[in-house]
């Protein structure tokens, strides 16, 4: 007896499966950008954008989200999260609703504004400074959430993946796998596989 059944053997046991035209596989990603946008629009979109820029460019982790200055005020991001009902310090396997907002989801949502800020103000992000060879050609895509940009070129994807790989190696994290999944989900990752 063999370990695996042939196609004919399987069909003989369970019968032929006829696919219903209404069947459609659904993504496990519970992120719904339309619902997130609607929720953010009822809060303070500018203030949340500033928080996302700070987190994406300065970094966050170990239950610390940082602060930013706005005029004479120092804004603590965790206080903003509490004020606006943003979920934070979630377990890694936490089940989120489509419109739940988290730090990562803010960075993802504001990805275009973050890139524009980096370009307009010529800033160096933590990812660019610490984990790349500092090629200025790619400075604008070295931030948390950049993998979700729709217009990344093949070279930009490779550079970002290299930066994340360097970070994973130095910090013992595994963010590279998530970035690869994002690229694969966008159907434009066939260019390069795991390095």
| 20-61 per-position pLDDT tens digit | 888 776 556 678 999 999 999 999 999 999 999 999 999 998
**In this predicted model, what pLDDT tens digit does every residue of 143-177 receive, in sequence order?**
999 999 999 999 999 999 999 999 999 999 999 99
Helix (H, G, I), strand (E, B) or coil at 19: coil
pLDDT, residue 189, reads 56
For the residues of 114-158, what is the DSSP string, one character each? HHHHHHHHTPPPHHHHHHS---GGGGGG-STTGGG-TT--HHHHH
Cβ 66 vs Cβ 77: under 8 Å = yes
Is 141 part of any domain? yes
Q: 105 and 34, same structural domain?
A: yes
Higher pLDDT, 46 or 185: 46
Q: Which of 44, 74, 109 is the last residue of a domain?
A: 109
145 and 181 both lie in a single domain:
yes
Domain membership of residue 5 (yes or no) is no
Number of domains present in the structure of the chain: 2
Q: Is residue 78 part of a domain?
A: yes
Sign of the alpha-carbon torsion through 10, 14, 19, 23:
negative
pTM for the structure as a whole: 0.83
Record the tokens describing residue 183, joined without a space: 């690229």
Are 32 and 82 part of one and the same domain?
yes
Q: Give the CA distances from residue 52 to residues 12, 57, 59, 62, 142, in Å, rounded to whole numbers and listed in that order.
A: 56, 8, 10, 17, 14
Tell me, yes or no, whether 10 lies in a domain: no
Residues 32 and 89 both lie in one domain: yes
Do 105 and 36 reside in the same domain of the chain? yes
Residue 59's domain spans which residues? 28-109
| Same-domain status, 132 and 190 | yes
Q: How far apart are CA 111 and CA 150, in angstroms?
A: 10
CA distance 107 to 115: 11
pLDDT in tens, 84-113: 999 998 887 788 999 999 999 999 999 999
Neighbours of 158 (CB within 10 A): 15
Would you say how long the chain is, in residues? Answer: 195
Answer yes or no: is 12 within a domain. Answer: no
If asked whether residues 102 and 151 sit together in one domain, one would say no
Count the neighbouring beta carbons within 10 Å of the beta carbon of residue 133.
10
């Amino acid at each position: 007896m063999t370990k695996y059944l042939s196609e004919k053997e399987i069909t003989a046991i369970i019968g032929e499966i006829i696919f219903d035209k209404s069947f459609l596989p659904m993504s496990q990603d519970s992120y719904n950008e339309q619902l997130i946008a609607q929720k953010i629009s009822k809060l303070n979109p500018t203030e949340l954008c500033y928080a996302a820029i700070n987190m994406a460019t300065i970094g966050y982790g170990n239950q610390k989200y940082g602060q930013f200055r706005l005029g004479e005020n120092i804004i603590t991001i965790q206080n903003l999260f509490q004020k606006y009902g943003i979920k934070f310090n979630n377990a890694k396997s936490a089940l989120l609703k489509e419109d739940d907002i988290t730090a990562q989801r803010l960075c993802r949502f504001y990805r275009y504004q973050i890139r524009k800020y980096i370009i307009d103000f010529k800033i160096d992000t933590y990812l660019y400074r610490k984990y790349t060879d500092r090629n200025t050609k790619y400075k604008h895509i070295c931030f948390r959430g950049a993998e979700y940009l729709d217009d990344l070129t093949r070279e930009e994807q490779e550079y970002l993946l290299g930066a994340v790989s360097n970070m994973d190696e130095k910090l013992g994290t595994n963010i590279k796998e998530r970035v690869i999944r994002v690229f694969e989900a966008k159907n434009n990752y066939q260019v390069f596989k795991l390095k």
